[in-house]
């Protein structure tokens, strides 16, 4: 009864509806701007906060690299609904009018299919780089599309345009910094718990590394997720290892694993400590990606000298 009453109130709330395109499909936000947003995945919350729509961000679920948020049950001041994706039962009690997902799994394994949410009057948005199939645009063009669409939905168009301009500025700076340096071979280590998990040509990390003036050693493999063994990595002989720092697989744990591994400890990059740690959410497509590319360009340029 309470659930049905909430849906009735939601559908009758004053405001204007907005139609929008996302993942190649047409969707409708019944009330703009939304009043109660749920961000599924940390980098989805970062996008909302960067657009200065924090007051409408009611909760966030699934923290990737901020261990303090798991202790405090808050992420950047926003209540943490659940450590991972909430169950549909928990989700519906929140009375959200917009759900923003950072990964496809947010709806597949989380709150339920997007069309089901739409039938209940709840709008949803999936960051374009997580769409299946992936957008034809580059990863950074997809981020720009996210900013423009969400800026419109959240009534934050000026903030969106500012972030887009800053993204282009940071990318230009990264490209200038990388010019004149021979591209270093980079291996990205996402996780070491079930083999050496990384990304291939379809992964955003490949584009991120390229914009920073490096080359992903797995860029020729036309896949998103790629897992290799120690022997393969030794043969690839990367100049630099890029280590994701996540709550489930910290950069410190990766460094310890590499230094103690009977084979990987002999990697040139390990012996010379040519290792770069970055927060996991900075390695997935989001509003911070261009700043990450610039930071990585500085690190790679220093290692090229």
The predicted-structure confidence for 109-138, as pLDDT tens digits, reads as follows 889 999 999 999 999 999 999 998 877 789
d(CA 39, CA 18): 19
d(CA 81, CA 62): 8
User: Given pLDDT bands bounded at 50, 70 and 90, which one contains residue 15?
Assistant: low
Torsion of CA 71, 74, 76, 77, to 10 degrees: -130
CB 117 within 8 A of CB 141: no
Average pLDDT, the chain: 94
What pLDDT, on the 0 to 100 scale, is given for residue 8?
47
Mean pLDDT for the stretch of residues 174-199: 95
User: Given pLDDT bands bounded at 50, 70 and 90, which one contains residue 261?
Assistant: very high
Smallest Cα–Cα separation from 29: which of 16, 40, 44, 39? 16
What pLDDT, on the 0 to 100 scale, is given for residue 13?
46
Q: Is the pLDDT of residue 2 over 50?
A: no
Mean pLDDT for the stretch of residues 194-211: 97
Mean pLDDT for the stretch of residues 212-223: 98
User: Given pLDDT bands bounded at 50, 70 and 90, which one contains residue 193?
Assistant: confident
- DSSP of 169-224, one letter per residue? HHHHHHHHHHTTSPPEEEEEESBSBTBEEEE-TTSHHHHHHHHTTEEETTTTS--S
What pLDDT, on the 0 to 100 scale, is given for residue 265?
98
What pLDDT, on the 0 to 100 scale, is given for residue 110?
84
Q: Is the pLDDT of residue 154 over 80?
A: yes
What pLDDT, on the 0 to 100 scale, is given for residue 188?
99
User: Given pLDDT bands bounded at 50, 70 and 90, which one contains residue 5?
Assistant: very low
User: Given pLDDT bands bounded at 50, 70 and 90, which one contains residue 223?
Assistant: very high
Q: Give the count of beta carbons closer than 10 Å to the beta carbon of residue 178.
A: 24
With both helix axes pointing from N to C terminus, report the angle between 289-304 and 157-178 in degrees, rounded to the nearest 10.
10
User: Given pLDDT bands bounded at 50, 70 and 90, which one contains residue 191?
Assistant: very high
What pLDDT, on the 0 to 100 scale, is given for residue 137?
81
Smallest Cα–Cα separation from 304: which of 166, 182, 158, 131? 182
User: Given pLDDT bands bounded at 50, 70 and 90, which one contains residue 181?
Assistant: confident
Domains detected in the chain: 16-155 (3.40.50.1980), 173-303 (3.40.50.1980)
């Amino acid at each position: 009864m309470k659930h049905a009453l909430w849906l009735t109130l939601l559908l009758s709330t004053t405001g204007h509806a907005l139609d929008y395109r996302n993942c190649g499909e047409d969707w409708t936000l019944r009330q703009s701007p939304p009043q109660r947003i749920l961000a599924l995945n940390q980098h989805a919350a970062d996008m909302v906060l960067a657009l200065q729509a924090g007051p409408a961000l009611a909760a966030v679920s699934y923290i990737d690299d901020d261990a303090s948020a798991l202790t405090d049950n808050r992420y950047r001041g926003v209540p943490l609904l659940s450590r991972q994706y909430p169950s549909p039962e928990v989700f519906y009690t929140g009375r959200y009018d917009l759900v923003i997902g950072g990964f496809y799994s947010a709806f597949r394994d989380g709150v339920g299919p997007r069309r089901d949410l739409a039938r209940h009057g709840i709008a949803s948005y999936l960051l374009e780089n997580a769409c299946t199939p992936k957008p034809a645009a580059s990863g950074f063009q997809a981020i720009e599309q996210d900013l423009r669409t969400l800026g419109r939905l959240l009534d934050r168009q000026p903030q969106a345009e500012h972030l887009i301009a800053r993204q282009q500025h940071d990318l230009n700076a990264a490209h200038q910094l990388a010019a004149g340096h021979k591209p270093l071979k980079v291996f990205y280590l996402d996780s070491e718990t079930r083999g050496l998990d990384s990304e291939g040509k379809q992964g955003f990390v490949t584009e991120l590394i390229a914009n920073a003036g490096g080359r992903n050693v797995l860029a020729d493999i036309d896949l998103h997720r790629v897992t290799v063994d120690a022997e393969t990595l030794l043969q690839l002989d990367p100049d630099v290892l890029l280590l994701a720092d996540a709550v489930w697989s910290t950069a410190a744990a990766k460094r310890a694993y590499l230094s103690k591994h009977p084979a990987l400890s002999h990697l040139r990059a390990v012996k010379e400590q040519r290792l770069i740690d970055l927060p996991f959410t900075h390695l997935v497509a989001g509003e911070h990606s261009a700043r990450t590319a610039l930071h990585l360009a500085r690190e790679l340029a220093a290692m090229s000298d």
